[in-house]
A = this chain, B = another copy of it.
Amino acid sequence: MISVEDAEAVIQAQVRDFGKESVPFEQALGRVLAEDLKADRDLPPYNRVAMDGVAISYHAFEKGLHTFQIRATQAAGEAPVDIQTEEECIEIMTGAVLPPSTDTVIRYEDLSIGEGTATVLVEQVKKGQNIHRQGKDKQQGDVVAQANQLVTPALISMAASVGATVLPVKKLPKVAVISTGDELVEVGTTPLPFQIRRSNSYTVKAALQKYSVQADLLHLPDNMEATQAQLKECLQRYDALLLSGGVSMGKFDYVPRALEGLGVEKLFHKVQQKPGKPFWFGIHPEGALVFALPGNPVSTFMCLHRYFVPWLEASLGVGDKPQLHAVLHADTTFMAPLQYFLQVALSVNDRGQLLATPLEGNGSGDFANLVAADAFLELPANQQEFKAGEVYRVWPFKPLY
């Protein structure tokens, strides 16, 4: 039996680079940016008028001129119109280019507009005011979004702005999610009294959608030959296999034997944790990784979030995510010398603290409880008593907002 930390280290040593590909920027949400995105011109690209009003030469105002002849009106998107004398101004709109002959913008709120004239009503005018200067935010060639981050709505805005109609993103691994167990029947059928419906695979597939991974779903019968035949093909076709079930001590738990028979090297079997103790992890000589997760729904779900997702994120280059911690909100006891992944509801109190309220279910077979929970709180193996107010590492599986 290996510790949680060691299991994590073994898995993280198998981080992969799946390369990159280009996708239309509008379809890149949730993918990982593979190259720095750079500004194709300054941001703003010109001295940008930041308020509706008039553009003047400050020199004239400074000399005492407060009423200006409106030479022209310039909308955003129009070529700039210059004043011919300092007695003139340009009535000008937010987003327009500041005419080079002017250097200061007075907003409508501080003006009285008459017949072809604008009179400044305030004494305080600052040279250069109400102008968003060319290149102030970013200069041409500057990085506007660094590689190795998730593409967010704000990043899509930036891509649009610099004309990046396609974005380079990290390629995704090919993943198969494989259920095992003859007790499992299809969702659309009515199970016999001693059967249950398949559910783990759908959960895993749904959880991977966050990363745009489109996993294939497969099922193995409790039969050594069929198991080996199908796994053999999968080891060729996929970068990662996510199995659930068949890894415990049962007589029909063929998975470890089948995998080892196919040349998959076992890197560990059994982790000092609850749930998920029988977790088996290995690597095929040609590269495929096998995450053989225990089949109890809570075990599968925990191992997915504690091991597979961090491996996936690291493989996509977003591995330097900071650890998240939460405050345990009620005393908890766990006697076994195992790292205990407690199901919790998360909330943020009015002091900005992340609170983890225990929602203990009826063990690793109780997935009804998972619907209400938000996260697993990871409680160290070398401790039995956990007091309210203590802080532990937390693994959320629902968005906090």
Contact = CB atoms under 8 A, between A and B. Distances in A.
Given A77-B194, A163-B190, A391 B351 contact: yes
Interface stretch (A60-68, A258-266, A357-365): A357-365
Given A163-B190, A347-B322, A391-B350, A371 B152 contact: yes
B78 A182 contact: yes
Contacts of A326: 348, 352
A218 to B, nearest CB: 15
A243 to B, nearest CB: 15
Interface in A50-98: 50, 52, 73, 75-80, 91, 93-97
A297 B159 CA distance: 13
B96 A163 contact: no
A29 interface: yes
Given A77-B184, A251-B93, A297 B348 contact: no
Interface stretch (A7-15, A132-140, A231-239): A132-140
B78 A194 contact: yes
Given A76-B183, A353-B352, A250 B94 contact: yes
A182 B132 contact: no
A198 interface: yes
Interface stretch (A38-46, A114-122, A284-292, A332-340): A38-46
Interface string A128-153: 00001000111000001100001011
A281 interface: no
Contact of A161 (B153, B197, B251, B354): B197
Q: How many copies of this chain does the complex contain?
A: 2
A369 interface: yes
A199 interface: yes
A341 interface: no
A162 B107 CA distance: 63
Given A25-B202, A161-B197, A182-B78, A152 B398 contact: yes
A229 interface: no
B368 A50 contact: no
A207 interface: yes
A222 B158 contact: no
A324 B401 contact: yes
A396 B391 contact: no
A104 interface: no
A24 to B, nearest CB: 10
Given A194-B46, A353-B354, A368-B144, A163 B187 contact: yes
B25 A187 contact: yes
Interface in A250-285: 250-253
Given A132-B363, A187-B165, A400-B396, A156 B202 contact: yes
B365 A44 contact: yes
Interface of A: 25-26, 29, 39, 43-46, 48, 50, 52, 73, 75-80, 91, 93-97, 107-109, 132, 136-138, 144-145, 150, 152-165, 181-184, 187-200, 202-207, 209, 222, 248-253, 295-297, 301, 321-327, 347-355, 361-363, 365-371, 373, 391, 395-401
Complex A-B, nearest 4 residue pairs according to Cβ-Cβ distance, in ascending order: A77-B183, A77-B182, A157-B203, A160-B199
20 contacts: A45-B191, A46-B193, A75-B182, A76-B222, A77-B195, A77-B222, A93-B250, A95-B181, A95-B295, A96-B183, A96-B194, A97-B193, A97-B194, A136-B366, A137-B365, A153-B204, A157-B367, A157-B370, A160-B198, A324-B400
